[in-house]
Structure 1
Amino acid sequence: MEKRRIYMDYSATTPVKKEVVETMMPYLTDYFGNASSFHSFGREAKEALDKSRSQVASLINANPNEIYFTAGGTESDNWAIEGVAFAHKNKGNHIITSKIEHHGVLHPCEYLEKHHGFEVTYLDVDSEGRVDLEQLKKSIKDTTILITIMFANNEIGTIQPIKEIAEIAKEHKIIFHTDAVQAAGNINIDVKDLGVDLMSMSSHKIYGPKGIGALYIKRGTKLHTFVHGGAQERKRRAGTENIPAIVGYGKAAEMAKANMDNHIETLTKLRTKLIDGILERIPHTRVNGSLTHRLPGNVNFGFEFIEGEGILLLLDMLGIAASSGSACTSGSLDPSHVLMAIGLPHELAHGSLRLSIGDFTTEEDIDYIIDNLPRVIERLRSMSPLYETYVREQGQLNK
């Protein structure tokens, strides 16, 4: 009998929807022109490029000429941060970010610190992973040129007070960038209402192809060109456009917008069922992140007395694909920087599990996990010296 396979890692990447693939296919075969060419083949590609740009813009209520295609969210983050830093270094050298950002933000900030003399303030977050707006205000200096705070965290799903942060930035005439890779296409976003200046997005988080993303650049925002060598993307991002991927991204964005309300409602329902079921059946368990300000499809558990790597291996044997906040799977002994930032002790941060839900997740999938995850945790705890010590100590206390 074929082993059951359940995908619960949508935050890492999503499958490409059939409609997206069908939309892309003609641009891999018949409509192969270069969008910069003047002949009919080029015009076909240019028309597809313009349509896709409008579709992505519509997803976040931007103007099409404010959308610039990139190779993905990481490039968008790098371009936003370094582009602002180098364009405004005559005004100042101070950047504010948070301790729980994706490495696509943290590493460019560290690069600017180490190699270009910039100063970076890394804001603390509370136990739910939300930044403190008062601390943000107190961190602003005369030399602050950029605030970059992620829209929603990729590990714990916590959504930040983006509109309030944008208002603080505007009040002090500081450019505000948000990494919305996890949020754009998964929750409603209106950049005009929010007031952000720059926003990073990615296709493969919303059932589009990998290797394509976008940077929203509010009209009038000054930043340096990141890739040189051609006049593409209105002379701001050189390189022949990846038309098939861009077309796929446009279709994925169009579908995400059309399905947004149902997407949020369905995933929130499944998320709630999963959280309630696991908390009821597995003692010494906590939910990491905010329960109220949270992405609809994100669940992150912390299990005491065990490590995340063991959970992943046993779940994979049961056909369940998940991920861990623990960095042990990457060869590091250090736990997730996000979980440490929200105040978890090392031992609990190591025992984390992220289960992310998507459009193809069913109630039967959730039931299967609720039935099997308790057995996985029980098995691992039965082999854990930490759990053995805990049980022995509790027994002595109860005598």
Structure 2
Amino acid sequence: MSRRSEPVYLDHNAGAPMRPDVRDAMITVLQDAGNASSVHTHGRKARGRIEEAREAVARLCGAKTRAVTFVSGGTEANMTALAPAWQDQGTPFYLDKLFRSAVEHPSVVTGGRFPAIDQAVVPVDSHGVVDLGALEDLIKDAAPSLISVMAANNETGVIEPLSDIAALAAKYSHFFHVDAVQAAGRMPIDIEAWGADVITLSAHKFGGPQGMGAVVVRSTARVPAPLMVGGGQENWRRGGTENVSAIAGFGIAAKAVLEDAADTSHFSALREKLEDGLRTVCPETVIFGEGTDRLVNTVCFAVPGIAAETALIAFDLERVSVSSGSACSSGKVSVSHVLTAMGVDEDTARGALRISMGWDTGTQEIERFLEVWPKIVDRLNPEARNKAA
């Protein structure tokens, strides 16, 4: 089989392939016995692996090591962070409401542990950027509450003005949660610079194992009340026997991200090549979020007259994997709530396709996509083609 005919994976925002060194580390850990809560040699070895990973994840976020709590993934991390009940040095206190942006991931849209009556939605502009004026109007007279805004959107890659939001949160004595699931490996993460009280991560977005995430707080004295209660694991913040192999894999992936962060210029070049190619094929291509800061690995676009559902099938037949939006809703035929919040009309939104690159993406994957795309356009809407191309 030629290299050109091999499957091409361009859906890293849904989940990245596991890095080989992560897989190898997990296999090694799986071959060992030991509960990290046990005091014998095997238990201490397991505990050491967890703490090594905790240190790596903390470095990834610019946080204190004890600020990291391991959980089962991004959804559990968000459910844990989105809590009315918090603790300050063990003393309970309560946040009044949840203010979340209109373009959040479904695990935040549900509101976590806040009842629906205590939730409010912050609008965004046509690029998908939070309307800071509207946010201030919503929060200025509210009792201490929680503001939740993602670092970067999973569908469009649009980056939010986190430091500006943090400034408003501090001005009115609110807490600030950042869903950083799509940020890791694509942009620097710094909980202090962001001014976030809590951020959430998921390992499988950047080459770690599926089913492993983290809640990271800025101050270890102020933490959300546990979602999973039981034993004293994770400093009493998340009960249940730790998944040592997955945690170890998370740590290896975090170290790799820190090493990769020295140079992400290749992503910029790949995105430019991709977007230039899209417009060469179809001059009327709409690139969502264009004109504002976006993740360099993500391109969300639509071509008038081409439905995403049909295009996905055509790509799959060509052995190219792309997405029509977030993986959590890709099994449904529905309009993206993100694009709707941005004011995109329904017909255009139904054509939205997402290309997302990652640690194993190279020029050949983008070239293969651009080789396949004109053939798909010719089948689905030949009038959209640039006849001069």
Q: TM-score, normalised by structure 1?
A: 0.90
| More helix, by proportion | 1
Over 3 Å counting, the alpha-carbon distance change for 1:139 and 1:271 in structure 2 is same
Is 1:325–1:349's contact at 8 Å kept on the other side of the alignment?
no
Give the Cα separation in 2 of the matches to 1:96 and 1:144. Answer: 11
Alignment pair present for 1:99 and 2:102: yes
Q: SS of the counterpart of 2:235?
A: helix
Aligned to 2:130: 131
**Among 13, 27, 39, the residue aligned to 1:25:** 27
Alignment pair present for 1:119 and 2:122: no
How much has 1:149 moved relative to structure 2? 0.5
Is 2:162–2:194's contact at 8 Å kept on the other side of the alignment?
yes
Give the Cα separation in 1 of the matches to 2:329 and 2:58. Answer: 38
Aligned to 2:15: 13
Alignment pair present for 1:351 and 2:351: yes
Give the Cα separation in 2 of the matches to 1:22 and 1:228. Answer: 32
Give the Cα separation in 2 of the matches to 1:298 and 1:370. Answer: 15
Amino acid at match of 1:258: E
Give the Cα separation in 2 of the matches to 1:303 and 1:68. Answer: 43
How much has 1:371 moved relative to structure 2? 2.2
Give the Cα separation in 1 of the matches to 2:70 and 2:274. Answer: 36
How much has 1:370 moved relative to structure 2? 1.5
Which stretch has the larger CA shift, 340-349 or 218-227?
218-227
Give the Cα separation in 2 of the matches to 1:379 and 1:236. Answer: 54
Aligned to 1:38: 39
CA deviation profile, 1:128-175 (whole Å, cap 9, x unmatched):
110011111111033241000011000000000111111111121111
Is 1:95–1:144's contact at 8 Å kept on the other side of the alignment?
no
Aligned to 2:241: 240
Is 2:111–2:119's contact at 8 Å kept on the other side of the alignment?
no
**Among 88, 97, 108, the residue aligned to 2:111:** 108
Give the Cα separation in 1 of the matches to 2:69 and 2:290. Answer: 32
Aligned to 1:50: 51
List runs of 5+ in structure 2 lacking aligned partners: 385-389
Is 1:159–1:293's contact at 8 Å kept on the other side of the alignment?
yes
How much has 1:222 moved relative to structure 2? 3.8
Is 2:323–2:330's contact at 8 Å kept on the other side of the alignment?
no
How much has 1:107 moved relative to structure 2? 1.1
How much has 1:185 moved relative to structure 2? 2.7
Alignment pair present for 1:296 and 2:288: no
How much has 1:90 moved relative to structure 2? 6.6
Q: SS of the counterpart of 2:361?
A: coil
Give the Cα separation in 1 of the matches to 2:154 and 2:38. Answer: 39
Is 2:86–2:95's contact at 8 Å kept on the other side of the alignment?
no
How much has 1:374 moved relative to structure 2? 2.1
What is the root-mean-square deviation in Å for CA atoms of aligned residues?
Answer: 1.9
Aligned to 2:387: none
CA deviation profile, 1:28-80 (whole Å, cap 9, x unmatched):
003x2111001001000111111110000001111100000000111010000
Is 1:96–1:144's contact at 8 Å kept on the other side of the alignment?
no
Over 3 Å counting, the alpha-carbon distance change for 1:56 and 1:87 in structure 2 is closer
Over 3 Å counting, the alpha-carbon distance change for 1:323 and 1:149 in structure 2 is same
Give the Cα separation in 2 of the matches to 1:324 and 1:37. Answer: 46
Is 1:156–1:299's contact at 8 Å kept on the other side of the alignment?
yes
Q: Among the aligned pairs, what percent are the same residue? A: 35
Aligned to 2:257: 256
Is 1:303–1:351's contact at 8 Å kept on the other side of the alignment?
yes
Matches within 5 A, 1:212-227: 212-219=212-219, 220-227=221-228
Matches within 5 A, 1:126-275: 126-140=125-139, 141-219=141-219, 220-262=221-263, 264-275=264-275
Give the Cα separation in 1 of the matches to 2:222 and 2:102. Answer: 25
Give the Cα separation in 2 of the matches to 1:361 and 1:315. Answer: 17
Is 1:54–1:64's contact at 8 Å kept on the other side of the alignment?
yes
Give the Cα separation in 1 of the matches to 2:94 and 2:27. Answer: 47
Q: Of the two, which has the highest radius of gyration?
A: 1
Residue-pair matches, total: 375
Over 3 Å counting, the alpha-carbon distance change for 1:328 and 1:185 in structure 2 is closer
Is 2:98–2:111's contact at 8 Å kept on the other side of the alignment?
no
